[in-house]
Amino acid sequence: MTFAEARALFPVLESVAYLNAGTFGPLARPVAEALQSGTERDLEHGRTGKEYFEETLALREELRSAFVELVGAEAATVALTTSTTDGCAIVLRGLGLGPDDEIVTTTDEHFGLLGPVGASGARVVVVAPDPDRIAAAVTPRTRLIATSRVLWTTGAVLPLHELREQCGVPVLVDGAQSVGAIPDDVDGIDYLTISGQKWLCGPDSTGALVVRDPDSLAVVSPGHFSQRSYDPDGSFDPQPGGRRFDSGWWSNGAVRGMLAALALRPDWWAERSSAAAANCRRLLAPLVDLVEPQPSSTLVSFRVADDEATALVGRLREAGIDVREIPGRGLVRISCGWWTSDEDLERLAAALAD
């Protein structure tokens, strides 16, 4: 697949410089067609019956295998969820932490991670998103390091595999801004959450969770898919592996759509995304107060006055350029994907120079 052919998959790119995959990725035509196909199947044949459930359950297992391949996970470690927030909550509830336990996190986390961390009952230790600061905050009471591989604020990349090895403490990775944006894998990581609708360009309310050792995490919010059998008192025999953490039903169309999204990425996606981000930094450096973390990712942020960010994002949107602000940070953020063209970035630079 050529770059032009890849761009043509996304109708929105004909009119919009779509630079906000960190919120929602652009929707590709094959994904929309898969969603529509599933909905039409439900419309014409209903959402019940042995054939319907067997077909949808088989598609779920096909999707689980696709997520396994995506991040290099073990086959029995993946759960299907509705978001990274959902995955973070499953882990934090399942750990059963209390006031004598500590969680180390950073100042630059999204509430999708921080909310479950704050509700965990543990003492929360917040430090700057610096590997040395994170490691120094670990004590004998630390039960978990909870952070992002790619920070949603600045795009900085944290060396979480190395931190896990150095500190010997389980790591929960909020993968919202890394999986699908940069090459990412679960090797050595205890818990990895995956967003389907962001960099992977899947349907809304899709995601996955990788749990390296499913037997070590309690199932505290069981759904129907958590069990193989159950008794009248509610006790149950959990599903093997990560399937016990599946958080709910996906429609037939949603499963088909996510499979289509994972299948359409070209072999060169990572190289193209990285090159687009580098080009973005080059073009914007003379124009704005650029945040330049090392190492960097496919998120590019620049500083503006807090009271100017909303207006600037709105002005760019009116010009057909979709970016976002980071509330309360005085930052505007650009997401560079494998579909991002040089013309998209030149259009952004021209608007900022105007």
**How high does pLDDT run on average in the chain?**
97
> What pLDDT does residue 354 have?
87
Average pLDDT of span 121-139:
98
Task: Give the global pTM.
Answer: 0.96
Q: Where in the chain is the domain with CATH 3.90.1150.10?
A: 3-27+267-353
Average pLDDT of span 331-351:
98
Average pLDDT of span 258-265:
97
> What pLDDT does residue 17 have?
98
| 89 CA to centre of own chain | 14
Residue 158 has pLDDT above 90, yes or no: yes
Q: With contact defined as beta carbons under 8 Å apart, do 324 and 302 qualify?
A: no
Residue 155 has pLDDT above 90, yes or no: yes
Q: Where in the chain is the domain with CATH 3.40.640.10?
A: 78-246
- CATH entry 3.30.70.20 includes domain 3-27+267-353: no
Question: Per-residue confidence at 126, pLDDT binned at 50, 70, 90?
Answer: very high
CATH topology of domain 78-246: Aspartate Aminotransferase; domain 2 (3.40.640)
Instruction: Give burial (CB, 10 Å; 0-12/13-18/19+) of 44.
Output: exposed
> What pLDDT does residue 307 have?
85
